[in-house]
Amino acid sequence: MKIAIEGCAHGELDKIYDCIETLQQREEIKIDLLICCGDFQAVRNNGDLRAMAVPEKYQHICTFYKYYSGEKRAPILTIFIGGNHEASNYLQELPYGGWVAPNIFYMGRAGVVKFGNLRIGGISGIFKGHDYLQGLWECPPYNQSSLRSVYHVRSLDVFRLSQLKDKVHVMLSHDWPRGITDYGDTEQLLRRKPFFRQEIEAKQLGSIPAERLLQSLKPDYWFAAHMHCQYVALVKHEENEETKFLALDKCLPKRRHLQILDLPQEYDGDELLKYDEEWLAILKNTNHLLSVKNVECHMPGPGGNERYIFTPNASEKEAITKLLPSMVITEDMFVKTAPIYNPKAPKTAPSNPVLNPQTVNLCERLGIDDPVQVIMARSGRVMTKPCADADPGSSLNESKMNENDLSPAPNTPMKCSKLTLPAPITPRENESEETTQNVTISPTTSFISDSTNDTSGFETPVSEAKKTFKRRNMSIYNSPEEDDSVSTTSSSLTESDSPRSSKVPYRGTAY
């Protein structure tokens, strides 16, 4: 099985698919799956642009809308997680995942799916300590605060992922796990990104929950993005387990934003996208923990009188297969829930959440709650039905729609029960660190560069003297895009001669 990994997509699907087609023709290979690590920007129309946490000058429609409207079809099955630059109103329709366009699947706030025999987990958003323990309280229309907090990782999603016991082969996150720089060539990273030094030395670079999931799940591969650079690391766990970590750049010319990975044949299987029984059982088992309040909501833990281990047993998994006789996620589930792009339409912020039939169907089958429906029920509001013309194959134009096409849906009663639970040990930025032995990998890397003088194996550094660094995410919100005037490279990331190197190397091309 060959899969393509993309860093920050930023809505540039045409460019990404063109890169993949070029690689397939040049290398005479067939890529089976594309995985995107956040900032996907599934923007359907001008209204969605107002639901993105970026300055107005960066609110560009890009090319996703062509795949949503049916003008184009994704040439390869694409799955993605959310980042911190998303059309959050659209992704909130699919808290447990779903198709955002034919052949393009969103994994939800957190999720696990199967592709053939490959088990893929992911968590959307980025970590912010001040929002981590809060409930899922955000709902359109957003204000300036909720427009950003809506994509912040919450403890419920991490708690659910921590219940997994079956092997996860690939794990996705947008931001890096904290401490991952202890396991790669950090000095080389700092030569390209010297403004990372302060956060690395203070143990503040990356996500604390992602770090803990890395240590508990021990996936074979972990892919990330967000930091707009390529970085490779190898994390050694106990019992000879290891995780190969790869972060990639954003989709711009002359950036290493795409990597082809050749996986062992054991992962091939039927190569259909399927639900995961263990994950769906965890969602069902933990539904009562859902909170939509903007207050701290502690997850259960040892010492209380409530259940705190929700790893499903065999009978609970079997019950899921009875509720969903077919675990295959077919793209005919996709339904348009908003008008397609019309360049003449104004950028009007979404005023009301839309009821997505994919979420309704999954929630009804599993007996779980849609967070947005719960929010709406608590406030006495009603959700909006999908567009009247919701046939995936139909042509839907934003300019032809009116308010009657978006009618209110019936109110949905809130089913969440209230629990009083003990406070667990939660991530704190000032926690003492466990002593671990650093494991560094130095992959043998060959590059073919447009410049015959470039033999360093890395892109030509941009002059860092011109950069003024603030906090990482503040820089992303307020600063212009980085200079992309670096040399074009392609690479094959192969196994190192070092004994610490992986037996299953990264193989492929960084575009």
Terminal Cα distance for the chain, rounded: 19
pLDDT at residue 7 greater than cutoff 80? yes
- 8 A C-beta contact, residue 171 and residue 81: no
Give the rounded percent of residues in the chain with a pLDDT score beyond 90. Answer: 70
Tell me phi and psi for residue 282, to 5 degrees: -65, -45
Split at pLDDT 50, 70, 90, the class of 133 is: very high
What's the pLDDT score for residue 385?
85
pLDDT in tens, 29-40: 999 999 999 999
Mean pLDDT confidence for 280-309: 95
What's the pLDDT score for residue 465?
38
pLDDT in tens, 53-80: 999 999 999 999 999 999 999 999 999 9
Query: In CATH, which of 3.60.21.10, 2.40.30.10, 3.30.1360.40, 3.40.640.10 is domain 2-493?
Result: 3.60.21.10
Split at pLDDT 50, 70, 90, the class of 387 is: low
Query: Could you say which DSSP state residue 190 is in?
Result: H
Query: What is the helix, strand, coil percentage profile of the chain, to 5?
Result: 25, 15, 55
Split at pLDDT 50, 70, 90, the class of 254 is: confident
What's the pLDDT score for residue 203?
94
Split at pLDDT 50, 70, 90, the class of 501 is: very low
Q: Using CA atoms, how far apart are residues 45 and 398, in angstroms rounded to an integer? A: 8
pLDDT at residue 475 greater than cutoff 50? no
Q: Using CA atoms, how far apart are residues 148 and 360, in angstroms rounded to an integer? A: 26
* Residue with more model confidence, 396 or 45: 45
Mean pLDDT confidence for 491-511: 36
* Residue with more model confidence, 225 or 462: 225
What's the pLDDT score for residue 182?
97
Mean pLDDT confidence for 366-374: 97
Mean pLDDT confidence for 381-410: 52
- 8 A C-beta contact, residue 103 and residue 162: no
Q: Using CA atoms, how far apart are residues 273 and 127, in angstroms rounded to an integer? A: 28
Find residue 489's DSSP bridge partners: 449
Ranges of each domain in the chain: 2-493
Mean pLDDT confidence for 260-289: 96
HEC per residue, 419-446: CCCCCCCCCCCCCCCCCCCCCCCCCCEE
pLDDT at residue 395 greater than cutoff 50? no
pLDDT at residue 367 greater than cutoff 80? yes
CA 376 → CA 98, 294, 351, 368, 379, distances in Å?
A: 21, 14, 13, 16, 5
Residue type, 45: N
Mean pLDDT confidence for 169-190: 97
pLDDT at residue 468 greater than cutoff 70? no
pLDDT in tens, 409-454: 444 433 433 333 333 333 333 333 333 333 333 332 222 222 223 3
Tell me phi and psi for residue 224, to 5 degrees: -150, 180
* Residue with more model confidence, 458 or 130: 130
What's the pLDDT score for residue 100?
98
What's the pLDDT score for residue 350?
77
pLDDT at residue 270 greater than cutoff 70? yes
What's the pLDDT score for residue 386?
84
For the chain, what is the mean pLDDT?
81
pLDDT in tens, 198-227: 999 999 999 999 999 999 999 999 999 999
Sheet with 98-101, side-by-side order of all strands: 98-101, 104-106, 78-80, 33-36, 2-6, 258-262
476, 479, 480: which is closest to 151 by C-alpha?
Answer: 476
* Residue with more model confidence, 161 or 432: 161
Split at pLDDT 50, 70, 90, the class of 242 is: very high
pLDDT in tens, 298-313: 999 998 889 999 999 9
Specify the 3-state DSSP secondary structure of 318.
helix
Residue type, 126: I
Tell me phi and psi for residue 143, to 5 degrees: -100, -175
CB neighbours of residue 433 within 10 Å: 9
Most confident of 155-159, 250-254, 405-409, 411-415: 155-159
